[in-house]
Chains A and B, each alone.
Chain A
Amino acid sequence: MIDDFGSADRRFIVRIVLAAGFAILFLRLFQLQYLNAELYGKEAEENSIRNVPKVAIRGYVYDRKGKLLIDNRPSYSVMLTPVDFDKKNLPLLTTILSMPEEMILEKIRLGRKYNAFIPTRIKRDISFAELSMLEEHKDKLYGVEIQMESKRFYPAAAHGSHLFGYAKEISDVQLEKQKDYYQPADIIGSTGIEAKYEQLLRGEKGWEFISQNAKGQIIGTFDNGKHDILPVDGVDLHLAIDGDVQAMAESLLNGRRGAVIAIDPRNGGIIALVSKPDYDLSIFSGTTPPDVWRALNTDEGIPLYNRATLTRYPPGSTFKMLLALTALDKKIIDENWKVTCPGSFRYGNKIFKCEHVHGTVNVVDAIHRSCNVFFYQLMLKVGLDEWSEMGKKFGFGKQTKVDITEENSGLMPDRNYYDRIHGKGKWTQGYLISLGIGQGEVGVTPLQLANYTAMLANKGNFYQPHALNRTYNKRTKQFSEVKVDHREVTLSDHTWELVREGMRRVVMAPGGTGAASRVPGIEVAGKTGTAQNPHGKSHAWFIGFAPFEDPKIAICVLVENVGYGGAFAAPIAGLCMEQFLYGEIIRYSKRPMKLEPNLPDEEPVAEN
Chain B
Amino acid sequence: MNSFLKEYFDRRIFFCVLSLTGIGLLSIYSATFDAYAGRDFYRQLLWAVIGLFAMLSMMLLPLRWLQRNALTIFFASLSLLVLVLFAGKRVYGSQSWLGFAGLGIQPSEFVKITTMLALASFLSQSDVKATDLKDLVKTSAIVALPIALIMLQPDFGTALTFLAMFIPVLYWAGASKFLIIIIIAPAFIAAASIFGTTPFLIVLILLGAGLYKLRDENRFFAVIVFGANVVIGFFVQIVYEKLPLYQQKRIATFLDPNNDPLGAGYNVIQAKVAIGSGGLFGKGFMRGTQTQLSFIPKQWTDFIFCVPGEEFGLLGGIVVLGLFSVLLFHGVHLASTAKNKFGSLLAIGFTCLFAFHVFVNIGMSVGLMPVIGIPLPFLSYGGSSLVSYMMVAGLMMNVYANRKEY
Contacts and interface: CB of A to CB of B under 8 A. Distances in A.
B44 to A, nearest CB: 22
Contacts of A105: none
Contact of B321 (A4, A26, A33, A47): A26
A32 B355 contact: no
Contacts of A11: 332, 335-336
Interface in A40-67: 40-41, 43-45, 47-49
A40 B332 contact: no
B309 A47 contact: no
B294 A10 contact: no
A30 B173 CA distance: 36
Contacts of A33: 275-276, 278-280, 309, 313-314, 317
Interface stretch (B73-81, B89-97, B358-366): B358-366
A213 B289 CA distance: 9
B69 interface: no
B257 interface: no
Contact of B329 (A18, A37, A219): A18
Contact of A219 (B172, B277, B280, B293): B293
Contacts of A5: 130, 172-174, 341, 344
A43 B279 CA distance: 13
A53 to B, nearest CB: 21
Most buried by A among B318, B335, B352, B359: B359
- Which of B130, B275, B335 is most buried by chain A, counting CB atoms within 10 A of its CB? B275
A14 B332 contact: yes
Nearest to A41: B277
Contacts of B317: 26, 29, 33
Nearest to B277: A44
Contacts of B368: 24-25, 28
Contacts of B310: 44
A377 interface: no
B328 interface: yes
A29 B321 contact: yes
A118 to B, nearest CB: 16
A427 B74 CA distance: 119
Which one of B277, B363, B367 has the greatest number of beta carbons of chain A within 10 Å? B277
Contact of A37 (B279, B294, B355): B279
Interface in B330-378: 332, 335-336, 341, 344, 348, 352, 355, 358-359, 362-363, 366-368
B304 to A, nearest CB: 15
A18 B332 contact: yes
Contacts of A30: 314
Given A3-B174, A6-B344, A22-B325, A29 B275 contact: yes
A21 to B, nearest CB: 5
A1 interface: yes
B329 A44 contact: no
B276 A32 contact: yes
Contacts of B174: 3-7, 10
B51 interface: no
A140 interface: no
**Chain A interface helix/strand/loop/mixed:** helix
Nearest to A7: B174
B168 interface: yes
B254 interface: no
B273 A14 contact: no
B27 interface: no
Nearest to B336: A11
B131 interface: yes
Contacts, number: 135
B280 A34 contact: yes
A211 interface: yes
B290 interface: yes
Chain B contact residues: helix, strand, loop or mixed: helix
A29 B295 contact: no
A36 interface: yes
Contacts of B321: 22, 25-26, 29
Nearest to A37: B279
Contact of A48 (B130, B295, B318, B335): B295
A39 interface: yes
A211 B293 contact: yes
Contacts of B273: 40, 43-44, 47
Interface residues of A, number: 41
B403 interface: no
B275 A40 contact: yes
Contacts of A129: none
Interface string B248-284: 0000000000000000000000101111111110000
A397 B383 CA distance: 89
B171 interface: yes
Contact of B348 (A6, A25, A28, A48): A6
Contacts of B348: 6, 14
A538 interface: no
B276 A25 contact: no
A11 B168 CA distance: 11
A337 B174 CA distance: 134
Nearest to B341: A5
Nearest to A8: B336
B318 A29 contact: yes
A45 B289 contact: yes
A304 to B, nearest CB: 47
A36 B332 CA distance: 34
Interface string B277-315: 111100000000110111101000000000001100110
A25 B294 contact: no
A25 B359 contact: yes
B372 to A, nearest CB: 15
Contact of B131 (A1, A47, A211): A1
Given A5-B341, A28-B368, A212-B293, A40 B172 contact: no
B318 A25 contact: no
B293 A32 contact: no
Nearest to B271: A32
Given A22-B321, A47-B289, A41 B295 contact: no
A16 to B, nearest CB: 11
Given A33-B280, A34-B280, A48-B289, A40 B272 contact: yes
Given A10-B172, A29-B309, A30-B314, A44 B289 contact: yes
A28 B366 contact: yes
Interface in B160-177: 168, 171-174
B293 A213 contact: yes
A43 B359 CA distance: 26
Interface in B125-141: 130-131
Given A29-B314, A37-B280, A18 B328 contact: yes
A8 to B, nearest CB: 9
Given A14-B171, A40-B277, A212-B293, 10 more contacts: A5-B130, A6-B348, A10-B174, A14-B348, A14-B352, A21-B358, A29-B317, A37-B278, A41-B276, A213-B293
25 contacts: A5-B341, A5-B344, A6-B172, A13-B171, A17-B355, A18-B332, A18-B355, A26-B317, A26-B318, A26-B321, A28-B368, A29-B317, A29-B366, A30-B314, A32-B276, A33-B309, A36-B276, A40-B275, A41-B277, A44-B274, A48-B289, A48-B290, A213-B295, A214-B297, A219-B292
Interface of A: 1, 3-7, 10-11, 13-15, 17-18, 21-22, 24-26, 28-30, 32-34, 36-37, 39-41, 43-45, 47-49, 211-215, 219
Instruction: Give 7 closest A-B pairs by Cβ, nearest first.
Output: A40-B276, A44-B277, A4-B174, A48-B289, A37-B279, A33-B314, A32-B276
